[in-house]
Amino acid sequence: MNNLPSEKKREIFVRKEATTDDKFGCYPDKRKVEDLIQYGIVDLNKPSGPTSHVVADYVKKILNLDKVGHA
């Protein structure tokens, strides 16, 4: 019985093993909630009624941030 191409065993190639130094940042899963909010994205489902600009202003005030944008 023939195997499909997607069923082939794949070999993983690693060019170079590397480590990192904590003084250059931290791993994403170890970031504080404050950092995630400060440098991250808040995904929300905007209700009908208020504009995107108004909702961005709500988020800015609620989370006490200097800059907030929407897309």
pLDDT at res. 3: 66
- Tens-place pLDDT, residues 27-53: 778 888 888 877 777 788 888 999 999
pLDDT at res. 6: 67
DSSP of the chain? -PPPGGGS--PPP-S------GGG---GGG--HHHHHHHS-----PPSSS-HHHHHHHHHHHTT-S-----
> Residue 5 — very low, low, confident or very high, per pLDDT cuts 50/70/90?
low
Residue 56 CB coordination number (10 Å): 20
